[in-house]
Amino acid sequence: MKKQERLEAEKFLLQCIFEEDPDFVDRTMEAFSVSRSTVYNYINHLQDTGELERVGGSMPYRIVYRTTRFTIDTSKERSEDRVYNRDIAPLLADYPANVQKIWRYAITAMLNNAMEHSGASAIVCVVSRSRLCTIVGILDNGVGIFRRIQQSRREETGESITTAEAASLLYTGGYTSDDDAHRGEGIFFTSRLMDHFAIRSDMQLFTPVGEDEEDEGAGERFRGTAVQMALNNDTDRELSDVMARYVDPEEGFVRTEIPVARFFGGFPVSRSEARYLGERLEGFRQVTLDFAGVTEIGPDFAHEFFGVVVPRHPELTVLTENATDGVAAAIRRAER
């Protein structure tokens, strides 16, 4: 087998193991028309190069990551760009140009949040690399992102909100605790650029549309904020393409999408929830409401949002997806 074919076979094998597929040997044999002994030669080679380790059990191997960890003293370093260029860019220098662009945007955006919003004295950055993907963690010892949003909301409106409600404000994008200095777009765009994105603070987890919300740290309080991002090293995703889905060249960030179940922590029933959603859509021209996981909506919510709020904003186009027959019927009744 030629070197390139072997590399492709090894990568396929690694992907199967990453996905915890118990048939990783048979799948590799079938995909590349090789013998069982050849596949085990690949496994031995990957162990020799430090990319795999044997752990036993039903899934006897796991991916090994090369991990780099460093701490930023925010009293001495306030430039996320300098941190990225000095400490992170060299680790990703062999990646395709599109992947490097995505990581530069995502990491500098999250570092900026930690440096300028969290009040942290220290930020820990962890970069873990394998042949398949890269995982980046950014952890700070600040006030915590959801507590910061709670404080900001209390100062703006006088109302007290829960950490879950604070997390919901991140789904639309455009929310910031510092209107004069930030546009509130970094988390929204970064979450759409990554294969995996999660924020954990206190006991609250934020994940974007389409991600499993299972929290391995549930029940444990995390002081400060922890951001985790993961991206395939060979993704064909382009920074410009993702931006174009939400940004108009002239008007800026005018399109958004909201996972209804997560935004409301269940299914919405009340008029106040409808008005709250309407407030979050100020300034947007298009919103896609994703009803995945929502089996029904309350008639009061449906009438207030689709029958009152939306008609008052003719500049706003509301699209829906993953609506059950019941949800779709409630929307149609409200629009009459």
pLDDT in tens, 224-279: 999 999 999 999 999 999 999 999 999 999 999 999 999 998 889 999 999 999 99
CA distance 164 to 171: 12
Report the candidate in 7, 27, 30, 6 with the shortest Cα–Cα distance to residue 17: 27
- Residue 107's alpha-carbon distances to 57, 82, 280, in angstroms, are 36, 12, 26
- Res. 22: pLDDT tops 70: yes
- Res. 196: pLDDT tops 90: yes
- Res. 214: pLDDT tops 70: no
The predicted pLDDT at position 265 comes to 83
The predicted pLDDT at position 215 comes to 52
- Res. 219: pLDDT tops 70: no
Report the candidate in 31, 34, 35 with the shortest Cα–Cα distance to residue 21: 31
Stronger pLDDT, 152 or 178, i.e. the higher one: 152
- Please, which pLDDT band fits residue 177 given cuts at 50, 70 and 90? low
- Please, which pLDDT band fits residue 96 given cuts at 50, 70 and 90? very high
DSSP conformational letter for 252: E
Q: Is residue 141 within 8 Å of residue 224, measured between CB atoms?
A: yes
- Res. 208: pLDDT tops 80: yes
* High-pLDDT (> 90) share of the chain, %: 78
- Res. 171: pLDDT tops 70: yes
What average pLDDT does range 8-28 have in this prediction?
95
CA distance 106 to 110: 6
Structure tokens at 49: 């190069």
The predicted pLDDT at position 212 comes to 57
Listed as own residue / partner, the contacts of 145-154 with beta carbons closer than 8 Å and 24 or more positions apart are: 145/113, 145/117, 145/118, 145/199, 145/201, 145/225, 146/201, 146/202, 146/204, 147/201, 147/202, 148/117, 148/118, 148/119, 148/177, 149/175, 149/177, 151/177, 152/177
What average pLDDT does range 65-83 have in this prediction?
95
The predicted pLDDT at position 158 comes to 87
* High-pLDDT (> 70) share of the chain, %: 93
* pTM exceeds 0.85, yes or no: yes
Stronger pLDDT, 3 or 181, i.e. the higher one: 3
The predicted pLDDT at position 277 comes to 94
Rounded mean pLDDT of the chain? 92
Structure tokens at 265: 């922590």
Q: Which of 55-59, 143-147, 283-287, 325-329 has the lowest mean pLDDT?
A: 55-59
Structure tokens at 9: 């076979």
The predicted pLDDT at position 210 comes to 59
Q: Is residue 297 within 8 Å of residue 206, measured between CB atoms?
A: no
Find tokens 């009438």 and name the residue: 303
Opening angle at CA 180, ends 174 and 184, nearest 5: 20
- Res. 329: pLDDT tops 80: yes
Task: Give the model confidence (pLDDT) of 158-169 as tens digits.
Answer: 888 889 889 988
Give the relative orientation of helices 239-246 and 186-193 as an angle to the nearest 10 degrees.
130
Task: Give the model confidence (pLDDT) of 112-155 as tens digits.
Answer: 999 998 889 999 999 999 999 999 999 999 989 999 999 988 98
- Please, which pLDDT band fits residue 216 given cuts at 50, 70 and 90? low
The predicted pLDDT at position 117 comes to 84
What domains are defined for the chain? 3-63 (1.10.10), 66-239 (3.30.565.10), 254-335 (3.30.750)
